[in-house]
Amino acid sequence: MTVLPHTTDALHRISDAVDGFLRAERELNLADPSAHMQVGGRVHALGVQIHGGVLAGIPEEDIAAIVQPARSACARSPFMRDENEWARGYPSDFRLIEHVLAQANKATPGTLGWHVETHLQGVAITHQLRNRVMHQTRLIGDTLTAPRNEPRSVLVIAAGSAPDLRKIPPGIVRPGDRFVLTDVDPDALELAQQRLGPLNDFTTAVSGNVFRAIPKLAELGPYDLVLVNGLYEYLNDRAAARLTEAVLTRLCRPGGLFHFSSLTGGNPFRWALEYLMEWQVVERDEAAVRALLPGCDVSVGFDQTGLALLAHVRTRR
């Protein structure tokens, strides 16, 4: 490990934070459910010190080596273990999303893993995920209840198992309405079909890479509403601009609404996510989002946590 003199203090602080986290098993009464607040404090302190190490210029591989014991301990939480392993080969596995939305804790009570998971289920980084799903549900509901005689059509890109659509009451769906779901993971779409109930009669699933699927999606359109569920967090600017152009020119009908969301810059959970879970995302602030949409009528807001940026674009009639 190469250590520059000015990084020594930062390295020591990270190491101390790792030790402090690991000592939780000896120093805290983990049989007390409220201990998750103290465990959460140590997770937060570790993230702060990792950030300090990044600012000090410590190489990524050196930080990862120091943090590895804490990462291994965190993996006793099924939430973090699933994300570390990326069982399906990419982050934001749809089963992990289901886990977060259910606010489940599958770790053994009284263990460090249980407290880590309880902490994670209660902090803003998971709340913003639930908020985003509820926001998309509201947009679907608004589209279906808006005064219009013609059938309504909704496309959800990176749909996962469609938790947003599953919350729609079947009674507001009319004959001729259509929902199109696309995702790279066919198992996610299969779970969606298992849980959509009566809405399956109105739903078409298209599996595969979204860029390759665009011609098929265009055949099934155009759409009154196009939702992109978190995918922008894994696209560089070039790919994000390419997807945006395709949605606006080939998928949305004139006057249709396009919505996507993204973690915004300054996310305080970033460093814990990256080094304890290997969950790296592309953060975008309002200026970066608007740069993807030059000349468009863009409305930008945030969820209640302030972590999720919500972009809405109305296409020209």
Domain with 296, as residue range(s), is 126-267+281-314
CA distances from 195 to 13, 157, 189 (A): 47, 18, 10
Q: Are 7 and 58 in contact (CB under 8 A)?
A: yes
Whether residues 222 and 179 share a domain: the answer is: yes
Whether residues 225 and 131 share a domain: the answer is: yes
| Alpha-carbon gap, residue 17 to 40, rounded angstroms | 12
Joined together, the tokens standing for residue 209 give 């890479």
> Has residue 157 been placed in a domain?
yes
Query: Which domain-ending residue is among 88, 122, 156?
Result: 122
pTM score, two decimals?
A: 0.90
Q: What is the DSSP letter of 315?
A: P
Residue pLDDT, tens place only, 230-253 = 899 999 999 999 999 999 999 999
| Alpha-carbon gap, residue 39 to 20, rounded angstroms | 10
| Alpha-carbon gap, residue 301 to 34, rounded angstroms | 34
Whether residues 111 and 234 share a domain: the answer is: no
Whether residues 166 and 67 share a domain: the answer is: no
SS3 per residue for 260-277: EEEECCCCCCHHHHHHHH
| Alpha-carbon gap, residue 18 to 272, rounded angstroms | 12
Q: Are 38 and 24 in contact (CB under 8 A)?
A: yes
Q: Which residues pair with 299 in a beta bridge?
A: 312
| Alpha-carbon gap, residue 253 to 135, rounded angstroms | 21
Whether residues 114 and 130 share a domain: the answer is: no
At 207, phi and psi to the nearest 5? Answer: -95, 145
**pLDDT one digit per residue (tens) for the chain, 317 residues:** 455 556 789 999 999 999 999 999 999 999 999 999 999 999 999 999 999 999 999 999 999 999 999 998 887 776 665 544 444 455 457 877 888 888 888 888 999 989 998 998 999 999 999 999 999 999 999 999 998 789 999 999 999 999 999 999 999 999 999 999 999 999 999 999 999 999 999 999 999 999 999 999 999 999 999 999 889 999 999 999 999 999 999 999 999 999 999 999 888 888 888 888 877 889 999 999 999 998 888 999 999 999 999 999 999 87
Query: Which domain-ending residue is among 98, 122, 146?
Result: 122
Which pLDDT belongs to residue 277?
80
Whether residues 262 and 223 share a domain: the answer is: yes
For the chain, how many structural domains are there in total? 2
Whether residues 175 and 110 share a domain: the answer is: no
Whether residues 74 and 16 share a domain: the answer is: yes
> Has residue 298 been placed in a domain?
yes
CATH of the domain at 307: 3.40.50.150
> Has residue 309 been placed in a domain?
yes
